[in-house]
Amino acid sequence: MKRIFRTGLMGMAAAIALSGSAFAADYPTKPIEMIVAFAPGGGTDVAARSIASFMEKHLGDGARIAVINKPGAGGEIGWTAVAQAKPDGYTIGFINVPAINALVVEGKAKFKMDDFQPIANLVYDPGVLVVGKNSPFKSVKDLVEAAKEKPGTIAVGTSGAVGSSEHITILNFERLAGIKLTHAPFGGTAPVRQAVLGGHIPAATMNLSEALQLAREGEIRVLGVMSEERSEYLKDAPTFREQGYDVVAGSSRGIAAPKGIPAEIVAKLEAAVDKALKDPEYLEAAKKAEIPLHYLASADYKAFLDKSTADLEATWKVSPWR
Amino acid sequence: MAVTAGPSRRTVEFVFAAALIAVAGAVFVLSADYPAESAAFPRVLAVLLALCAVLVAARQLRHRDEAGAQPFFLHLPRFLITLVALVAYVVAIDVTGYLLPSFALAVALPFVLGYRRLALTVPLAVGTLVLIVLVFNVALERPMPPDVLMHLWESVR
Amino acid sequence: MIDAIIHALPHVFAPANLLAITIGSVAGLVVGALPGLTVTTGIAILIPLTFGLDPLFALGMMAGMYNAGSYGGAIPAILMRVPGTPASVATILDGYEMTKRGEAAYALQVAVVSGVIGSVLSAIALILFAPPLVKVSLLFGPAEYFWLAMLGLATISALLGDDLVKGIAASAIGLLIGTVGQDLTSGTERFTFGSLELMDGFSIVVLLTGLFALPPVFQMAEEAIKEGMSASLLRFKKQRSVMREWRYFLPVWLRSSAIGIFIGVMPGAAGSMSSFLAYNEAKRVAHSPETFGQGNPEGVAASEAGNGADNAAALIPALSLGIPGSGVAAVILGGLLVHGLRPGPQLFRDHPDIVYGFMLQMLLSAFLLFAVGGLAATRIFGQVLRLPRIVLAPLIVLFVAIGVYAVNNAMFDLYVLMGVGVVAYVLEKLDYPQAPVVLGLILGPMAESQLRLSLTISQGDPSALVASWVSIILALLTAIVLVTPLYRSWREKRQRKPAAA
């Protein structure tokens, strides 16, 4: 009985796969839904809507992509929707690393990273540690020494909540430098930037693109960039590695589909993203806006996702953030 | 008459105050699982809420005035019809999508409540829904609760 | 600056860009008037469409949409008691009462004129005083925001209504609902029962809609009135004219606009705060505060002027520091980025004609709102009231249902809506006031999280709460707002006593 059931299931899977490739040839025949796990107007939403119109152009044949916001629970609602969608190529979504991996590692999410078929990564924005312009800290070392002197007295603001990716980064930094800081979650990027500028908080983490203009104007000081190499956009800001702390972190945005979508459709979408990112019109706007574009094709993106998950699992074992 | 009048205002005051006390109690108990700094604020509020509810109830006991004896509902049967219609409406949206239940509600509710000029309600319902589809779905690309009509529309296209 | 403005003028008045503002205004009015659709959504959808267009064309559309959308919320608020936007809740308090009295047209007129005046003053503040106002906003850290929230909460004392006990109970209900969701500081999920949908708390728009829009639906159904309002009641000319009464409204407009601009500049303050604070201030200084909430046009004027004044002011920290003062300002920043314009001090140096052009467009769109909103739209929308009320009731439900669904694209919110609607009906019938529920809901989380953030940063030292003079001033203001109604009733009692004796 069990065996019959299983063969039946396999047959069904094969049938689905076959029908999949049958219509993959003239894909897309109806509007593609692109799920964004954040509210309209947020960074991810604007990025999604911008790239969607260029992907439509490069998918050709009057393809339509409808951006659908399913915000809530720090992205979990939207990502669950992507993971559980029918793998027919008509539902894709934006996923954000490392926030999505963190949910999986905590074991809280209803999905696993394997439930996604990565399509392409678009943006990688490294994290930075910043202080106000009147701060006594001139380098990461200054801050580490001050924290060693009086453990736990230096508050570091983040835009997230407890368990957010920035919080995890702070925990990593604490472990690597052997210090104790106090995490102050502001719940949004606007308030934390305002607090740094007004000198209401000794230090804060954010993404490089959010600190760029203020740093160039000298309103805030970037103590360290959490990337392997210095950023092209801010050449005089040192990395954490240069200063002897191996903190590499940042957030990335990419497109994924539910697992099991036909390989032809993955290839089509991947090509559309690639072409959209190379579209001169898009490229020029992105360059002007200094969006840290970082294209990864499906296979590379998968490797990147796996590495992020593995890193977070290691952190979780040493210093659980929740 | 006595059947249609429903509970008196005083009765509802009591029931509602009791409900508030129950909610406050539940909040207080549930907060026990949270860390102290997260539990403090809701607990203070729960105590405050329960206190107010007790006062409201006590006042009803002391002043047995005319106003409290008045029926709470203006017209209980119509209220119940509306309540059932609205709950059915939301459940129906969940099952069949937005358009059909909306049309049904806009036409049937006035009809049941005594307004029978279908010459006004039917075109009005259709017009409203067309407007809603145009603004929400076509112009602003907001998705609607998936509708059986939409599937038909897709297959026709 | 003058140079830049003069340089920008011809671009602003170029026919294409004027057209952009007009299109934006009309779209904004529709988006603002429909519950669940916000200006933020409208602009987010607009952004990709403006790729490759002239920046001022895109920004003109955004400016129009911003000002008109923020006023648009007042239309359903006044006519149907449906809060189109959270900020229009304070408008409901008197606006809907005026409609019930047959003064819908007058109420809409007051709203649009007040909204225009608030927006105009705000745009002027944006053009002239951006740098000093930005410095003020930087004085606000967690401790100051905590006191700002407390000041807002203190205004509840003016909204409690006649029954003190029920007023406090309503505030506690609002504050408790506000605690639902993940607690930022500790990461604890409070009262979510494991539901993902409740992690971020209840959606404010869903709650407000249930709280205000559904009780009248039940009421209309119970009354089952088969007639609508007569056409003559809805004609504009028959009713009073706001323009002729400008002297009467002027103090309210000026005070409310000042409050709106101040709150607008604060990135961490909830946007709907400005209309409530303005409303309360108008009530506090009024000769007969008891007429507020019973259809006093000053209430509508205060709320809408405060709301309109929030708009351009929220762009001040956005343009000059890249810190958005509101959700809408945040999307507009996104829109600027798409056109390669990075907000910050250098924006004023590198692209002065665009920055000042955009500011002028904010000003221009405020005036345009007068034409689009006042002359055309309110007349059309007002006709809705001619429908038999029993037919109107289900139509309100249709709009509310699709709007609430559109907020998060979730059925969950529709069920919440119905639940809240029934509870709100009971609350209203038993004379529990709704305004304190709203304020508690919006400001409670802000007060709690900012207090704990402030204590986290200061390692638990409570003196951090009064460490700056801004905190002390705000604390004193809070005390004044709390004491005024008490003082007033005490004085009235004393005056009455000798008369009785």
* Domain locations along chain A: 2-125+250-318, 127-243
Taking all residues of chain C, what is their mean pLDDT, rounded to a whole number?
A: 85
Closest in B141, B143, B154 to A30, CB measured? B154
B142 or C396, higher pLDDT: C396
Q: Which residues pair with C492 in a beta bridge?
A: none
Query: What type of residue sits at position A161?
Result: A
> In whole angstroms, what is the distance from residue C212 CA to residue C86 CA?
11
Q: What per-residue confidence (pLDDT) applies to C95? A: 92
Are the beta carbons of C200 and A72 separated by less than 8 Å? yes
**A31: nearest CA in chain B?**
B154
Q: What is the pLDDT of residues B62-76, one digit of tens each?
A: 877 777 778 888 889
> In whole angstroms, what is the distance from residue C85 CA to residue C33 CA?
8
Closest in B9, B30, B74 to C191, CB measured? B30
C410 and chain B in contact, CB less than 8 A:
no
Closest-CA distance, A38 to chain C, in angstroms, reads: 9
Give B127's pLDDT tier (boundaries 50, 70, 90). Answer: very high
Torsion of CA A12, A17, A20, A24, to 10 degrees: -170
Q: What is the pLDDT of residues C278-308, one digit of tens each?
A: 998 898 888 888 888 888 999 999 999 999 9
Are the beta carbons of B78 and C221 separated by less than 8 Å? yes
**C341: nearest CA in chain A?**
A289
Q: What per-residue confidence (pLDDT) applies to A164? A: 81
Q: What per-residue confidence (pLDDT) applies to C497? A: 64
Contacts of B78 in chain C (CB under 8 A): 221-222, 224
Domain total for chain C?
A: 1
> Of C70, C27, C78, C102, whose CA–CA distance to C313 is shortest?
C70
Residue B39 near residue B103, CB atoms below 8 Å? no
Q: How many CB pairs under 8 A join A and B?
A: 6
Task: Classify A218 in phi/psi space as left (phi over 0), alpha (psi -120 to 50) or beta.
Answer: left
Residue B45: pLDDT over 50:
yes
**Mean pLDDT value across residues A10-34:** 61
pTM: 0.84
> In whole angstroms, what is the distance from residue A82 CA to residue A99 CA?
15
B119 and chain C in contact, CB less than 8 A:
no
Q: What per-residue confidence (pLDDT) applies to B42? A: 92
| Domain A2-125+250-318 bears CATH identifier 3.40.190.150 | yes
Q: What per-residue confidence (pLDDT) applies to B1? A: 43
Q: What per-residue confidence (pLDDT) applies to A13? A: 45
Q: What is the pLDDT of residues C58-96, one digit of tens each?
A: 899 999 999 999 898 899 999 888 887 878 889 999 999
Contacts of A68 in chain B (CB under 8 A): 143
Residue C179 near residue C190, CB atoms below 8 Å? yes
For A166-200, b where at least 16 C-beta lie within 10 A, e where not — what string?
A: bbbbbbbbbeebebebbbbbbbbbbbbbbbbbbeb
Tell me the CA distances in angstroms from A124 to B8, B145, C374, one per residue in order. 64, 34, 47
Q: What per-residue confidence (pLDDT) applies to C317? A: 87
E strands within C142-183? 181-182
Residue A4: pLDDT over 60:
no
Contacts of B90 in chain C (CB under 8 A): 401, 414-415, 417-418
Q: What is the pLDDT of residues A213-268, one digit of tens each?
A: 889 888 899 999 999 889 888 889 999 999 999 888 888 999 999 999 998 899 99
Residue A206 near residue A192, CB atoms below 8 Å? yes
Q: What per-residue confidence (pLDDT) applies to A243? A: 93
Give B106's pLDDT tier (boundaries 50, 70, 90). Answer: very high
> Of C20, C78, C397, whose CA–CA distance to C220 is shortest?
C397
Among A193-197, A208-212, C421-425, name the most confident range: C421-425
Taking all residues of chain A, what is their mean pLDDT, rounded to a whole number?
A: 85
A30 and chain B in contact, CB less than 8 A:
yes
Contacts of B25 in chain C (CB under 8 A): none
Query: What type of residue sits at position A196?
Result: V
Residue A15: pLDDT over 60:
no
> In whole angstroms, what is the distance from residue C151 CA to residue A218 CA?
34
Residue C122 near residue C307, CB atoms below 8 Å? no
> Of A140, A110, B141, whose CA–CA distance to C406 is shortest?
B141
Closest-CA distance, B148 to chain C, in angstroms, reads: 16
Are the beta carbons of C342 and A289 separated by less than 8 Å? yes
> What is the SS3 assignment for C471?
helix
What long-range pairs does B122-130 form, CB within 8 A, spacing at least 24? B124/C387, B124/C391, B124/C395, B125/C395, B128/C395, B128/C398, B128/C399, B129/B99, B129/B102, B129/B103, B129/C398
Pairing state of beta strands C181-182 and A155-158?
unpaired
Q: What is the pLDDT of residues C345-368, one digit of tens each?
A: 778 888 888 889 999 999 999 988
Contacts of B134 in chain C (CB under 8 A): none
Q: What per-residue confidence (pLDDT) applies to C394? A: 93
Q: Does C487 fall in a domain?
A: no
Q: Which domain holds residue C273?
A: 2-467
Are the beta carbons of B143 and A30 separated by less than 8 Å? no
Chains touching C, CB cut-off 8 Å, 3+ pairs: A, B
ipTM value, please give it.
0.91
* Cis peptide bond N-terminal to B145, omega within 30: no
Q: Does C479 fall in a domain?
A: no
Give A25's pLDDT tier (boundaries 50, 70, 90). Answer: low
Residue C36: pLDDT over 90:
no
Q: What per-residue confidence (pLDDT) applies to B135? A: 82
DSSP state of A188: S
Q: What per-residue confidence (pLDDT) applies to C375? A: 66
Quick check: do A2-125+250-318 and A127-243 share a fold? yes
What's the CATH architecture for A127-243? 3-Layer(aba) Sandwich (3.40)
Closest-CA distance, A131 to chain C, in angstroms, reads: 14
B66 and chain A in contact, CB less than 8 A:
no
> Of C91, C58, C64, C61, whose CA–CA distance to C75 is shortest?
C91
Q: Does C393 fall in a domain?
A: yes
Residue A301 near residue A157, CB atoms below 8 Å? no
Residue C304 near residue C84, CB atoms below 8 Å? no
Q: What per-residue confidence (pLDDT) applies to A92? A: 93
**Mean pLDDT value across residues C162-172:** 87
Q: Which helix (H) or strand (E) holds A114?
A: none
DSSP character string of A171-183: HHHHHHHT---EE
Q: What per-residue confidence (pLDDT) applies to C235? A: 61
Q: What is the pLDDT of residues C429-481, one digit of tens each?
A: 998 988 888 888 888 888 998 999 999 999 888 898 998 999 999 999 889 88
B143 and chain A in contact, CB less than 8 A:
yes
> In whole angstroms, what is the distance from residue C37 CA to residue C407 CA?
7
Give C377's pLDDT tier (boundaries 50, 70, 90). Answer: low
Domain positions in chain B are 2-69, 76-156
A85 and chain B in contact, CB less than 8 A:
no
C90 or C226, higher pLDDT: C90
Q: Return the CA Rg of chain A.
A: 21
Pairing state of beta strands C181-182 and C189-190?
antiparallel
Give the rounded percent of residues in chain B with a pLDDT score beyond 70.
90
Pairing state of beta strands A116-132 and A203-207?
antiparallel
Are the beta carbons of A68 and B154 separated by less than 8 Å? no
Q: What per-residue confidence (pLDDT) applies to C35? A: 79
**C430: nearest CA in chain B?**
B13
Which residues numbered 293-322 in C keep a CB inside 8 Å of some CB on A? 317, 321-322
Closest in C330, C408, C456 to A72, CB measured? C408
Chains touching B, CB cut-off 8 Å, 3+ pairs: A, C
DSSP state of A258: E
Tell me the CA distances in angstroms from C486 to B107, C221, C279, C450, C493, one per residue in order. 51, 39, 18, 28, 11
Q: What is the pLDDT of residues A104-141, one digit of tens each?
A: 888 878 888 989 999 999 988 899 999 999 999 999 99
Residue C231: pLDDT over 70:
no
Are the beta carbons of B52 and C176 separated by less than 8 Å? no
Residue C325: pLDDT over 80:
no
Are the beta carbons of A66 and B154 separated by less than 8 Å? no
Residue A1: pLDDT over 80:
no
Q: What per-residue confidence (pLDDT) applies to C499? A: 54
Q: What per-residue confidence (pLDDT) applies to C233? A: 60
For A39-78, b where at least 16 C-beta lie within 10 A, e where not — what string?
A: bbbbbbbbbbbbbbbbbbebbeeebebebbbbbbbbbbbb
Mutation site for A-interface testing, chosen from B37, B136, B138, B141 by largest number of A Cβ within 10 Å: B141
Residue B43: pLDDT over 90:
yes
Among A62-66, A292-296, C105-109, C417-421, name the most confident range: C417-421
